[in-house]
Amino acid sequence: MTEKLSQSRSERDYIPGLGRHFLTPLYDVAHRVFGLHSVHNEMIELAELRGGHRVLDVGCGTGNLLRATGRRHRSVELVGLDPDPKALTRAERKARRAGLTIRLDRGFAQELPYEDGSFDRVFSSLMLHHLDRASKDALLAEVRRVLRSDGQLVLADAVLDEQGHHRGHRQGGMRGRMREQLQDNVGDAVAQRIADAGFTVEPTRTVSLRIGGSIGIVSARLDGNS
Ligand SMILES: C[S@@+](CC[C@H](N)C(=O)[O-])C[C@H]1O[C@@H](n2cnc3c(N)ncnc32)[C@H](O)[C@@H]1O
């Protein structure tokens, strides 16, 4: 695991996968219970990966999407980034057991430690609601910067209905900051935010989780390249 954490951000500047650090060891159990593999499968399909593609997963957590991608596409280059060292340690172990080479970096979505135009695809799964508004915009600007001109962003996050409810999701169990940030996900708001950042977005695909509500998946390309 490579340390790419900016000096200006402390460990407390991010919300971990399940909202609290002590819950991180349970992340993969939650992944299975909610049936998140169906979201990841849909994301991989939308990305239309080809051999030699360089793929970044921002907020990769314990590496489930990277592992699923690597199992299906042996000849893509995989890079994952997350600020949570515990999640990255798990991701590293899982990649090793699966016989996959995945570069894992510790860092933040708002300051991607990569060269301009260095990725063909950027994934982000269930990470957006961990960010405040300024950070969401910073993430999208960073994704634009690191994507090649014909690159594609595939981003998944919860979809709230017009009343601000995530069907079946006990938002009461979420930490206040995250619950608040989730309110930005009503209807088509995520796709609109991505379009406002200069991407051309395709209609959002929706996946219903086994337990809980719906996840919207947005496929977006840089303007003029869709
Ligand atoms: C709900 S988990 C999703 C993990 C994984 N993408 C998945 O689909 O299973 C959200 C992840 O976002 C990460 N995260 C939180 N703030 C972040 C930030 N500023 N930059 C990058 N990742 C962040 C958390 O550490 C956590 O691993």
Annotate the chain with DSSP letters as a single string.
Answer: -EE---TTS-GGGS--TTSSGGGGGGHHHHHHHHTTHHHHHHHHHHHT--TT-EEEEET-TTSHHHHHHHHH-TTSEEEEEES-HHHHHHHHHHHHHTT--EEEEE--GGG--S-TT-EEEEEEES-GGGS-HHHHHHHHHHHHHHEEEEEEEEEEEE-B-TTS--TT--GGGS-HHHHHHHGGGBTTHHHHHHHHTTEEEPPPEEEE-SSS-EEEEEEEEETT--
Mean pLDDT on 198-213: 90
Nearest to 147 by CA among 128, 126, 123: 123
Write out the two tokens for 148: 């090649």
Predicted local distance difference test score (pLDDT) of residue 168 = 45
Nearest to 80 by CA among 58, 95, 99: 58
Share of the chain above pLDDT 70, in %: 87
Tens digit of each residue's pLDDT (9 = 90 or more) over 172-203: 445 577 877 888 888 888 999 999 999 999 99
Ligand 1 atom nearest to CA at 109 = 20
Residue 149 has pLDDT above 60, yes or no: yes
> What is the signed CA dihedral for 37, 136, 10, 117, rounded to 10 degrees?
80
Of 31-40, 75-84, 148-157, give the lowest mean pLDDT range: 31-40
Predicted local distance difference test score (pLDDT) of residue 173 = 47
Ligand 1 neighbourhood includes 61 CB (under 6 angstroms): yes
Predicted local distance difference test score (pLDDT) of residue 175 = 59
Share of the chain above pLDDT 90, in %: 66
Predicted local distance difference test score (pLDDT) of residue 162 = 67
Residue 22 has pLDDT above 80, yes or no: yes
Predicted local distance difference test score (pLDDT) of residue 170 = 46
Task: For ligand 1, pick from 127, 157, 169, 209 the residue to mutate: most ligand atoms within 8 Å of CB.
Answer: 127
Nearest to 39 by CA among 197, 208, 175: 208
Q: How far apart are the first and last CA of the chain?
A: 34
Predicted local distance difference test score (pLDDT) of residue 18 = 84
Q: Who's near 102: CB < 8 A, 6+ residues apart?
A: 63, 66, 67, 70, 78, 79, 80, 91, 92, 95
Predicted local distance difference test score (pLDDT) of residue 171 = 46
CA of 124 to the centre of ligand 1 (A): 8
pTM above threshold 0.85 = yes
Tokens 């980034």 found at: 81
Nearest to 58 by CA among 19, 22, 101, 104: 104
CA of 175 to the centre of ligand 1 (A): 15
Band (30; pLDDT cuts 50, 70, 90): confident
Tens digit of each residue's pLDDT (9 = 90 or more) over 88-132: 999 999 999 999 999 999 999 999 999 999 999 999 999 999 999
